[in-house]
Amino acid sequence: ESGHLVSHSDRSIVAAGHDMFSTRPEIQQLRNVRPDDLKPHLMRYTGTDGKYVIADYHQVPLTQWGVVIERDESEVYRTRNRLVWLAIGGFFGVILLVIPLAVLFSFRLTTPLARLSRATKALALGDLSSRSDVTSRDEIGMLAGTFNQMADLRQKSEETLAQERERLSVTLRSVGDGII
């Protein structure tokens, strides 16, 4: 009741003069918190060994006795720090997994499209033998197959047109002979 330390987990503190320990300003400040407040009454201060300490004071109901619990700040935050490092490691682990998969997927998508694009440009410039060598069974493969069919039809149309021109040319040359 007088504010003196009765017991402590470290016996050397009790034996070393508990009167001074129990009247430290930090503990007095913790004791001055209203007992009906349900929030935790935590305080952070530098302990006797120079390390940061987290302390909590709770008054024993219906008495003037109180309990102060102190822990090294490093001990209090050890689990939190492990979880933070685990989360950071997990984040970078996922990134290291996702980036190669994204690169692989983009190459799988862009390489056939680039080949199809080159074949299309060659056909547009007059290379009627240009075909796409994409043989996958996805949409790009279907598009490449359709492109190859269109290239075949265009080549046949050009060959038919060339034959008709030749026949027309022969006919026109023959007409001149018949008129003479």
Q: Confidence class of residue 160 from pLDDT cuts 50, 70 and 90?
A: very high
The candidate with the shortest Cα–Cα distance to 27, out of 62, 67, 63, is: 67
Rounded to the nearest 10 degrees, the angle between the axes of helix 139-179 and helix 73-124 is 10
**pLDDT for position 108:** 87
Identify the pLDDT of residue 21: 42
What per-residue confidence (pLDDT) applies to 54?
84
Residue 144 tokens read as 């490449």
Predicted TM-score of the model (pTM): 0.46
Residue type at 91?
F
pLDDT in tens, 19-74: 434 445 555 555 555 555 545 567 787 877 788 888 877 777 777 667 777 888 88
Q: How does the average pLDDT of the chain come out, rounded?
A: 79
Question: Can you spell out the DSSP letters for 149-172?
Answer: HHHHHHHHHHHHHHHHHHHHHHHH
Q: In angstroms, rounded to a whole number, what is the distance separating the alpha carbons of residues 141 and 130?
A: 16
Q: What is the pLDDT of residue 89?
A: 97
The arithmetic mean of pLDDT across residues 112-128, rounded, is 90
pLDDT at 43: 77
Q: What is the DSSP string of 10-56?
A: SHHHHHTTHHHHHT-HHHHHHHTS-TT--S--EEEEE-TTSSEEEEE
The β-bridge relationship of strands 42-46 and 52-59 is: antiparallel
> For position 128, what pLDDT does the model report?
86
pLDDT of residue 27: 58
pLDDT band (50, 70, 90) for residue 167: very high
Which residue type sits at 34? R
